[in-house]
Structure 1
Amino acid sequence: MTQHAQQSVVAADLPERGQPLAGGTFVTRYWLNGEERALVLLDNELIGTWGKYGDDVAGAHSLSDGGANTRAMAEAGSDIAVKALELDAHIPSYLEGALLMAAKAEGFITLREDRWHWLSSQYSAYSAFGVGFGGGWVNDLVKGDERLVRPVRSLPIQ
């Protein structure tokens, strides 16, 4: 895994939304597992399947913790999850996808609107959540289909 120097951020050092932070673009502040965090969108674009159709990935059902979901996906053999982790990042969860959608609507970030993007939150053994940033749709999509991923970082705020 690529080591990224910045593992946290001091609240006073946070830039305005839409400005550079930790190798990407600062999206917003949010709470995850009782800790305030900074969501950072990377410019990298990955493409691939979520995983194997019919395989239930037990650790990938969180609607909020994209990091935990992505690690579980990688352990189950997901190539896009491995690629995201190699960037010291993860695939956004359902919650993080909604935060990206809001930031896009407010003009802080740009996301492709011509393809569906995977989220790391699994819906079932056969599908996982995905988001269409063009219309703001979230739906469950067949795991074996290729979709885009825009990896994110989630940094604890001190």
Structure 2
Amino acid sequence: MTKQAQQTVLAAELPERGQPLAGGVFVTRYWLNGVERALILLADELSGPWGEYGVEIKGAGSYSDGEANTRAMAEAGSVIAIKALEMDGFIPSCLEGQLVMAAKADGLLELREDRWHWLSTQRSANTAYTMDFVDGWLYHDAKLTERLARPVRSLPIQ
């Protein structure tokens, strides 16, 4: 993974939601593991399977921590997870995907609506969660299915 230029963001320097921040678009503020963070949607789009069907990846089941999930996926060989980390981003968790959807519903972001997107939260050895950015449907699909992934970045707020 490359070194991320910006490691934190000052609360007083946060832009309005939907405005540029740290190489992407500021989605919202949220709390993760006791730390307030800024969620940033990156412009890049990845495509591929989530991972290997029938293999449960330990550490990829968090509903809220997409970065931890993505790191576990990458360690298990997931190509889209490795690519997301190389971009200094990660595949959003179910919670982070819902925060992205809320920003889209508020008219702050544009997202592809013609395909389902992978989330990093694993549901079982066979499936992982996906999200439809038309209506915000959260579902699950076979890990070997080719889907889009829209990486995000998360910075601690000071």
TM-score (norm: length of structure 1) = 0.99
Residues 104-135 of structure 1 deviation map (CA, whole Å, 9 limit, x = unaligned)? 00011111000000000000000000001012
Q: Distance in 2 between matches of 1:47 and 1:67?
A: 18
- Paired residue type of 2:113: E
SS in 2 for 1:40: strand
Deviation at 1:2, TM superposition (A): 2.1
Give 2:51's aligned residue. Answer: 51
SS in 2 for 1:111: coil
The residue correspondences of 1:1-158 to structure 2 (distance < 5 A) are 1-158=1-158
SS in 2 for 1:58: coil
Unmatched tracts of structure 2, length 5 or more: none
- Paired residue type of 2:24: G
Number of residue pairs matched? 158
- Paired residue type of 2:73: M
Q: Distance in 2 between matches of 1:134 and 1:15?
A: 26
Q: Distance in 1 between matches of 2:108 and 2:26?
A: 9
Q: Distance in 1 between matches of 2:61 and 2:81?
A: 15
SS in 1 for 2:27: strand
Q: CA RMSD in A?
A: 0.5
Give structure 1 regions of 4+ aligned residues with deviation exceeding 6 angstroms. none
SS in 2 for 1:97: helix
Q: Distance in 1 between matches of 2:123 and 2:133?
A: 19
- Paired residue type of 1:89: G
Q: Distance in 1 between matches of 2:53 and 2:110?
A: 30
Deviation at 1:45, TM superposition (A): 0.4
Unmatched tracts of structure 1, length 5 or more: none
Q: Distance in 2 between matches of 1:7 and 1:110?
A: 26
Deviation at 1:60, TM superposition (A): 0.2
Deviation at 1:103, TM superposition (A): 0.4
**Percent identity at matched positions?**
68
SS in 1 for 2:59: helix
TM-score (norm: length of structure 2) = 0.99
- Paired residue type of 1:61: G
SS in 2 for 1:59: coil
Deviation at 1:3, TM superposition (A): 1.8
